[in-house]
Structure 1
Amino acid sequence: MVSEKKDIRALSKQELRDFFVSIGDQAFRGNQVYEWLWNKGVHNFDEMTNISKETRAHLEQNFVINHIEVDSLQKSNDGTIKNAVKLHDGFVVESVLIPTKSRTTACVSSQVGCSLDCKFCATSRLKRMRNLNPDEIFDQVVAIHKESLLYHDKPLSNIVYMGMGEPLMNYKNVLESINMITSEEGLGMSPKRITLSTSGVPKMIKKLADDEVKFHLAVSLHAAIQETREQIMPFAKNFTLEDLRESLEYWYKKTKRRVTYEYIVWNNINDTEKDVDALIQFCQAIPCKVNLIEYNPIDDGEFQQAANSAIDMYIEKLEHNKIPVTVRRSRGKDIDAACGQLANKS
């Protein structure tokens, strides 16, 4: 039987205040409950100790706190942790804690499955089953923060929306989750420590700029030649490189913040001088940096990491053109927690 109770975290603070007034209580009770839910992250009304038992019973009758549970936890040899996160309706998503000497980063999911069809990514094979709610994204961050303290003895320092799903296809909920993570009433984290990674949805990139967001933007690019990009990311037929470039120019004009291009170099796909030259031309539109990512195989070999000489060619040519470039070595490969590997094998 479907529960008639409302998910209490779907209510704003004002709606909680209104609820308490409607039952003849005082409005400030709504503030107290809101603080327990978001700032203290409780998942049980009985833990709200500054509220009377009678009031807690009333909340129990009317509301439910739909929270996530870490269904299984895997630890990599390099300290990376992958969570299989069970949602209230039984769906499972994955989130990852990536520790380095200077930071600990949470990689969180925004959809069950994914709306897009990138051929090199395991998540795209699941198709999109539903969007995550803001509280389900928020809970992933809270869980990883606790794990960072427990296993690495330091708090979470950064968040990347690079897990399962395309964040811009769940725009409203993703932005609401970031608002709660950055709010003093939530986790109070600086938006400058948050990066949203998108495969490139031009209309929504412009909307981000119009909404004056304060977090960083990364674009999963992988090819600056339209035909090649369509081959590896078929959805790019509808979101062309020309439209993407225009939306990023708009982003930079509005925000004055450079974009990071995430880029994997594959053997016989995008490993020629022509590919690098196209990337350099694309990079000249706005200030940016290129993050060359090590490829993590998911299949029977259609995609293979390019030779080191091809990576060196990219680095040399980008640097010669004064485009900042870094090489990101993958973490957590031994537990399928690396970039592109999240697929709910559990």
Structure 2
Amino acid sequence: MSEPEQQQHTARPKQLGDVPISILDLASITTGSTAAVSLRHTLDLAQHAEKWGYHRYWLAEHHNMPGVASSATSVVIGYVAGGTSTIRVGSGGIMLPNHAPLVIAEQFGTLESLYPGRIDLGLGRAPGSDQLTARALRRGPGSDGQDFPDRLGELRTYFNPISGSSMRVRAIPGEGLHIPIWLLGSSGFSAQLAAQLGLPFAFASHFAPDFLLQALDLYRSYFRPSEELANPHAMIGVNVICADTDEEAERLATSAYQQFLNIIRGRTGQLQPPVDNMEELWSIQERAIVKGQLSFSAIGSPKTVRAQLEQFQQMTNADEIIVASAIYDHDARLRSYELLADITGIKPQA
């Protein structure tokens, strides 16, 4: 995008209480448990989240990961939407290089037909898997994300055919339905593409925070108003682990630390229970890497978490915050989200 196309947008800074709070769920499978239990916990959390006033409930596509139960993301979205009544449900996200755009248009057209006005389609361009898994997904050599803009254009055309065209392939259901499309990313590519198309943008700062401020600046500076949005709408990801005391929250957070430690060691596995001392598990260098990747985390008592979230909000002026919480115990995860709802001032459902 050339410099003359740059758009400037000014708005008063948003306070924490001004922005909707949403949930990103990976449907984590804990050690010794099963995907079936994980999915029941997902629905239970979504039902509580709806009651507490959370805005969206998103699920993420990951494959070949023993600790993630949301690989069939559209199916899980239908399960959650069917068990709730008002909260928006969607993908955070669908990895479009893994799928034919027609299939995604039909799947989300079906979801929107079943649960009208409640479905979001968040899209990512990363493959989200290793090469062996990529081959198992039947992706060809060109499906590496480089053709993401073309795939996105094809997908959007299935929902909104070009006037006067005689499309021989149509998405039924899907055609003519309004399903909000979000672009997700951790770099400038999706930020600029979302700006160019006038779409909402979500940054994966909960695990890749380094380019966050630059990406938000690109998105806001180059945003072009569209039929979807008159002004840019940026959402940031934050890890939140809230408990009654700082000490309890820090102990709960060791499950997330172990999860990311295994990732940087090239391992995958189920979510581990908390430990008393992480220093016995990681080196100084590994600790620095994990803490860096999780730097957009609010961990502690309600007072501590609120102060951290206010700091992130001041830094980014986000329009929305989506929260991930890798907490081993389901009741502790529910408690964390209940405390978060209280300290952020979101409105419980009447």
TM range (shorter): 0.3 to 0.5
**Bigger Rg over Cα:** 1
User: TM-score by structure 1 length?
Assistant: 0.43
* Structure showing greater relative contact order (alpha-carbon pairs closer than 8 Å, 6 or more residues apart): 2
